[in-house]
Chains A and B, each alone.
Chain A
Amino acid sequence: MEVVLQNLTKIFPSRNKNGSEVVAVNNFDFTIPDGKLIGLLGPSGCGKSTTLYMLSGLQKPTSGKIFFGSDDVTELTPENRGVGLVFQNYALYPHMTVKQNILFPLQNLKGEDKLSKEEMIKRAYDVAALVQIDDLMDRKPSELSGGQQQRVAIARALVKMPRILLLDEPLSNLDARLRLQTREEIKRIQRETLITTVFVTHDQEEAMSISDYIVVMKKGVVQQIGAPQDVYDSPINLFVAKFLGTPPINVFEGEVKDGALYIGEEKVLDTPNVENKKVFVGIRPEGFILDPNGPLSCNLNNIEVMGRDVSIVSSNTASVNPIVRSIVDADNKIAEGTEKVFFSIKPNKIFIFDHETEERIML
């Protein structure tokens, strides 16, 4: 099911008379292709959960429209939209067994959709097998681990065969190991069912690793939409560049002067098409190459060995952050007692942004 968001806006009125209203989502325009997994990504308070709740129908947009396929669902109540929603803390009914939880949405069906008992049980067991919890059907939620509860919640959302599946911070309640496992699991379930899925996360790694598309949001405004690798390789502004990637991108104060980019006094790049101005320079950690003749010099602080790679922690007076972190191949040896390191920079890993607007300046 293709999902179209048209100028979707949500404004929360202020609580007191003098307070200002909050624009949670501002003019969201996006078409989610059929059968894809979409990650809504952004820091807390950016409007990603509000967008999800508007898709589910639990919250009404202030303006704009939502289409599922060709149906305008903007005015429809949640139950009439055919969405499956998985809550951040799962919201499994604690007094029901796993089986009863999964059966619950089916028992709500009325009229011609009504299923016979055997059909319900069959569908429940089918979906339980899909998420691999069919051996836990008679347990109560309190007797399950976090990961198992998560699966039950997904099964409950999937059992009524929703047109789209919505996941609110699906991994935030799991520990690190389970998180890795579960995110693969979500990807697998999505691939097997081919249900258009939207999930919300503030963890960029999570979003990048499983999404077909990511939507980066900030303060209610969509910053950039695209395939994870594309967004990473070509961030549209400084915010997106900083938000994606671990370790984060290194940002320097820089200046374009006479067709060249300077960091501090050092000329690091030829920029013949850019007019003279102050800029921010972003360099991905993997964009540095140790090179004795390289243009950028930094004071070496520390070297962290990580096996495959070496992380060089250094400092530069023009750097916005206190440290500059670069990741180079472990084959690079740095002699003990070295004080200054020199880098050359991979041209596709360096981005410059306008100092005022923080928008990307294409080279």
Chain B
Amino acid sequence: MVESKQQWKAWVYLSPALILLLVFTVWPIFNTVRMSLLNGYRGLAAAGGQTFEFGFQNFVKVVQYRQFKDCLVTTLLLCVITVPVSSFLALLIAVCLNSIKPLRRLLQTIFFLPYVTNTIAIGMVFAAMFNIVGNIAGGDPNSTASSIATFGIVNNVIQLFGGKPINWINAGSTYWHNMFVVIFYIVWNALPFKILILLGGLQSVNKQYYEAAKVDGTSRTRVFFRITVPLLSPMIAYVVITGFIGGFKEYSSVVGILGEDMAATGSETPLNTMVGFIYDALENNNQGRASAAALILFGIILLVTLLNLYVSKKKVHY
């Protein structure tokens, strides 16, 4: 009976991890599903003894919200733009990093710094960089004359080249200007992880493929597209898939740049994301709606990931 004794031991060894998973992952998932399926569920009311009917009302309501559609569009836009841009940039940077020898380690570290820095903190720095007037709270939002003092480095640079300062994120700025800054930020913030993965992949590629290509007189672009990209395709697929998943969960970057309202002061069209929508619902003590939105987000991510996997099965080699 040695086997069953060892099985028992195995369960004991596994139990710390299993208990944590049960309490913090499995139970919340189960609870989310439960709350989403109770019409108009509210935590406080439930604690007060109120009972709720079983049904799909939460889902119907969520989908009917105009805000929800806006959040969905914003989130989709962020994903569709940032993931390809950051993946391609990361690939270029990784290839460049891989082809130089001096200072590679230093550059690697520099490129990796955003990854270990707090998202909100960086967001605030970005907000400062894209600022237009000397005072965030005050200033005339409609006056963008170049005479106004500005400490945002971006506008300083624009002015240096003779351009007019642009109202990126301050009061009265447009949705698309906000969007540009957020995209810029997300791309920059997503780079280090992707570079790390792709550089690791590049360094494990057998150098002889490149020597063989060299002997055959292959041009640089052809080497990149016919050899490097296919050989890196598993890593590229990984980076794209995790990028999409991260993109759908985008929230803190917007908060870091635009503040908790996720909108420029006075803006009619907030840059709210799906996760932002869920937080809003939670803040309104509407757990039923939040759970339903979370499950819809989960469904979308699942769908996109399956689509990604389907595409990569056809395109990823070996």
Q: Which A residues form the contact surface with B (CB < 8 A)? A: 56-58, 77-80, 83-85, 87, 89, 91, 93-96, 104-105, 107-109, 140, 142, 156, 160
Known contacts being A93-B227, A95-B233, is A87 close to B212, with CB within 8 Å? Answer: yes
Asked if B4 is at the interface of the complex by the 8 Å CB criterion, the answer is no
A-B pairs with beta carbons under 8 A, tally: 63
A sample of 26 inter-chain contacts (CB < 8 A) reads A57-B215, A77-B214, A78-B214, A78-B215, A79-B214, A79-B215, A83-B215, A85-B212, A87-B212, A89-B206, A91-B208, A91-B211, A91-B212, A93-B209, A93-B230, A94-B231, A94-B318, A95-B231, A96-B230, A104-B218, A104-B226, A105-B216, A107-B222, A108-B217, A108-B218, A160-B216
List of B residues within 8 angstroms of A58 by Cβ: 211, 214-215
List of B residues within 8 angstroms of A91 by Cβ: 206, 208-209, 211-212
Asked if B219 is at the interface of the complex by the 8 Å CB criterion, the answer is yes
CB distance from A288 to the nearest CB of B (A): 46
Besides the contacts A104-B218, A108-B222, what 8 more A-B pairs have beta carbons closer than 8 Å? A79-B216, A84-B215, A87-B212, A91-B211, A93-B212, A93-B227, A104-B213, A109-B217
List of B residues within 8 angstroms of A104 by Cβ: 213, 216, 218, 226
Asked if B314 is at the interface of the complex by the 8 Å CB criterion, the answer is no
Question: CA of A83 to CA of B216 in the docked complex: distance in angstroms?
Answer: 8
Question: CA of A19 to CA of B108 in the docked complex: distance in angstroms?
Answer: 29
Asked if B66 is at the interface of the complex by the 8 Å CB criterion, the answer is no
- Considering the complex of A and B, which 8 residue pairs feature the smallest CB-CB distances, nearest first? A79-B217, A95-B317, A91-B208, A105-B216, A95-B230, A91-B212, A78-B215, A85-B215
List of B residues within 8 angstroms of A94 by Cβ: 231, 317-318
List of B residues within 8 angstroms of A57 by Cβ: 215
- The residue in chain A whose Cβ has the minimal distance to the Cβ of B318 is A94
CB distance from B85 to the nearest CB of A (A): 25
Interface-centre pick from B206, B217, B226, B318 (highest chain A CB count, 10 A): B217
Q: Are A87 and B317 in contact (CB under 8 A)?
A: no
Question: CA of A144 to CA of B217 in the docked complex: distance in angstroms?
Answer: 26
Question: CA of A85 to CA of B318 in the docked complex: distance in angstroms?
Answer: 25
List of A residues within 8 angstroms of B211 by Cβ: 58, 85, 87, 91
CB distance from A47 to the nearest CB of B (A): 18
List of B residues within 8 angstroms of A79 by Cβ: 214-218
Question: CA of A160 to CA of B213 in the docked complex: distance in angstroms?
Answer: 13
Known contacts being A94-B318, A95-B317, A104-B226, is A87 close to B214, with CB within 8 Å? Answer: no
